[in-house]
Amino acid sequence: MTENQIGRLLAGLWADLQQPAILWQAGTLALCLSLAWWLARMLQWRAPDDSTEALKRGAAAFRRLVFPLLAMLLLVAGRAALRNWHSTNLLSVAIPLFGAMAGIRFAVYLLRLAFAHGSWLEAFERSIATVVWVALAMHLTGILPEIVNWLSAVELTAGRHTLSLWTLLNAAFWVALTLLLALWAGVALEVRLMRAENLHTSLRVVFARLGKAVLLVAAVLLVLPLLGVDLTVLSVFGGALGVGLGLGLQKIASNYLSGFIILLDRSIRLGDMITADNHHGEVTRITTRYVVVRSLNGVEAIIPNDTLVTTTVLNHSYTDRRIRLAVRVQVAYRTDMAGVLELLIKVASRHPRVLRDPEPTAQVTEMADSGVNLELGFWIEDPERGSQNVRSDISVELLSEFRARGIEIPYPQREVRLTGAQDTKIDSR
């Protein structure tokens, strides 16, 4: 539909508004919209939970399009039934508006699917579609040009440059649109990089973050000159931003720089078992601002990158994921030491998580007061599954073997002497 046709429709609608017969068109419009809303509620079909992702997305798109499409079809039928008796300019204006609503909803939904799941666009999808549709409706009805003329008359001065309010709003709109496209390209780049098996995980994250940043900066620098905005105007804002970064945002800037340092030097990688800031667990996520450490009890600690760079971090899997564990036990002096040491090694070797290379070892560590202290050492390669559970399993097995073989774990012994009239010795066990 051309602008001349729209203009004729609006002129006819203005003439209809002066006549009482407009009530017939308003009633038909209200009836069609009510019927479309009721039918849309009846047709809110959702795909089953076990359906494919394509079917779920198709059902979601159908729910967004069913109301405007039904409204448009019913308005076409209503216009055909009413035009034999009355003018139908109001219905003729409403039909393309609801057709545009269907197209805008579908386009915004496709744009949302292009971004990662859970992005901000998902939360504001309906609001964005409504704003775009209202702007289009205002343009078709001739209201928007009047608003544009008023905004163009309002001028703002920044130094030696003068900009109209409409220029600033127009620039903000196109910058936002360009940033959306840049974010979409950044997400596509990140997905592509994450599939590159020949690149290290940390390098994939670094390149993805840098790619997004470059695309966003390039989008702003390209769109502003095209809209007639002199980039030198931004120098004032750039200076203010620099002061803000130097004062209030210093810690945030430090975290971002530390994040790139961590990703580049690979000191901490996804899947590493680390101990930092009194938190121990597996690194599950690395961002440019923080690192997520998931402990073995399920609690996730969000540690700022600055803390990981400026403090000591214990990386239990930096060069080798294998770690050594030890179980200490004490036996009586009369025990056969060679047999007990062999038994300790045999019990550790039976555990499925204990490595055979290097093999478990057992040795005497001390001749203590009450007995002989022994240490059983062994290695595991999956510390993310926990270490205390392995020690517990082996300790329980050792107690069972000791009871079955009559091996004694001695109680503490003390010899007490009482001096006086009689020299008496008491052996306390």
- Confidence at residue 252, expressed as pLDDT on a 0 to 100 scale: 73
| Strand, helix or coil for residue 396 | helix
Q: Residue 276: exposed, middle, or buried by beta-carbon count in 10 A (0-12, 13-18, 19+)?
A: buried
Find tokens 């430090």 and name the residue. 254
Give pLDDT, residue 159. Answer: 55
pLDDT along the chain (429 residues), means of 10: 51 56 74 86 76 77 82 82 72 77 81 61 70 73 68 65 70 74 73 68 68 74 66 60 62 77 79 86 84 85 88 82 88 90 92 90 89 92 82 92 89 71 52
| pLDDT value, residue 363 | 92
| pLDDT of amino acid 19 | 61
User: Cα-Cα-Cα-Cα dihedral of 13, 19, 20, 25, to 10°?
Assistant: -20
Rounded to 10°, the helix 22-42/53-82 angle is 160
State in words which class domain 254-315 has: mainly beta
Domains 254-315 and 323-405 share a fold: no
| 329 contacts 409 by C-beta, under 8 angstroms | yes
In this predicted structure, what is the pLDDT of residue 120? 55
Prior bond of 358 cis (ω within 30°): yes
pLDDT of residue 399: 92
Helix, strand or coil, per DSSP, at residue 275: strand
User: Which CATH number applies to 323-405?
Assistant: 3.30.70.100
- Beta strand pairing status for 424-428 and 414-418? antiparallel
- How far apart are alpha carbons 157 and 45 in whole angstroms? 54
User: In this predicted structure, what is the pLDDT of residue 222?
Assistant: 74
Where along the chain do its domains lie?
3-141, 155-248, 254-315, 323-405
Residue 398 has what pLDDT? 92
